[in-house]
Amino acid sequence: AYIDKTIPTAGISYPSGMLTSATFTVTLTESDTGGSGLASGRVELSTDAGGWAYYTTTINDFTYTGSPGHSYQFRYQTTDGAGNLSTWATGLTATINRAPNTPTLKAPPDNTWINYNPTFTATVADPDTGQTVKALFDYNSDGSVDCTPAALVASGSDSTCAYTFPDTSGTSWRAKAQDSLGAESAWSGSWTLKKDTVAPVARLTVSPTGWTNGNPTWDWSTSSDDRSGLRSPSRYYYYLDGVAQG
């Protein structure tokens, strides 16, 4: 008869922390010096910090595919030919990163004329606790990113990007969110930017133009604006001897 009372060893390793890929490799290591040789290995899995459950019997490395938003922890135990059990080798927790939420557009206002260079603003959020995020802005809804903020912000905060935008009678813009690990949301819906920095042309005719003892006629109907148009009703001011009358 042969006697083997030496306990085999077991080791396990895999990527831990917040993972960008849902699929990762679990590496198993083991040894036996008692003479009977390794017989088998048992792998157990804990999901979302729950109890341990049997996963597989193997002494070979394997790949595992999890689901975004869930965490996984493996442990490994070996058995030798004499029935000796190793201590459990327990790996660290791996969590599959989730994409951030689609951002909410905030400024500049949708389909409203402005006369300044806008700071594009979107509220960003991420479903993973502690994750930071920023908005990526597309200024003509062509699928390309035109402005990327330098800083990430906390989930639930506003992400901004200043941009010198030319005058336009209507350009669509939108945003998507990107977290610190590079995961991206879907594009938001589009808002319409309207910008007009050119002053309207004021035209005023007075009849008569000389002295009169009657009431003069004031005509500003030929004033014009070829961009955002004149305000309706428009505001006009007149002065008498340098004093505003209305």
Q: Is there a contact between 45 and 72 (Cβ–Cβ < 8 Å)?
A: yes
* The model's pTM: 0.77
Bridge-based pairing state of the strands 17-19 and 94-96: parallel
Residues 6+ apart with CB under 8 A from 95: 17, 18, 19, 70, 71, 72, 128
Q: Is there a contact between 220 and 236 (Cβ–Cβ < 8 Å)?
A: yes
What's the helix, strand, coil split of the chain in %, to 5? 0, 45, 55
Residue 221: predicted pLDDT: 62
Residue 210: predicted pLDDT: 78
Q: 3-state SS of 144-171?
A: CCCECCCCCEECCCEEEEECCCCCEEEE
Distance CA 230, CA 226 (A): 9
How is residue 11 written in tokens? Answer: 């080791």
Q: Is there a contact between 179 and 100 (Cβ–Cβ < 8 Å)?
A: yes
- The residue count for the chain: 246
Residue 131: predicted pLDDT: 94
DSSP for residue 81: T
Residue 52: predicted pLDDT: 98
The pLDDT profile of the chain, 246 residues, written as one tens digit per residue, is 889 999 999 999 999 999 999 999 999 999 999 999 999 999 999 999 999 999 999 999 999 999 999 999 999 999 999 999 999 999 999 999 999 999 999 999 999 999 999 999 999 999 999 999 999 999 988 889 999 999 999 999 999 999 888 888 889 999 999 999 999 999 999 999 999 887 777 777 777 877 888 787 776 666 656 666 666 656 666 666 777 765
Distance CA 97, CA 10 (A): 29
Sheet holding 62-65, edge to edge: 9-13, 23-31, 62-65
Residue 85: predicted pLDDT: 98
Could you give phi then psi for residue 45, rounded to 5 degrees?
-130, 135
Distance CA 219, CA 225 (A): 16
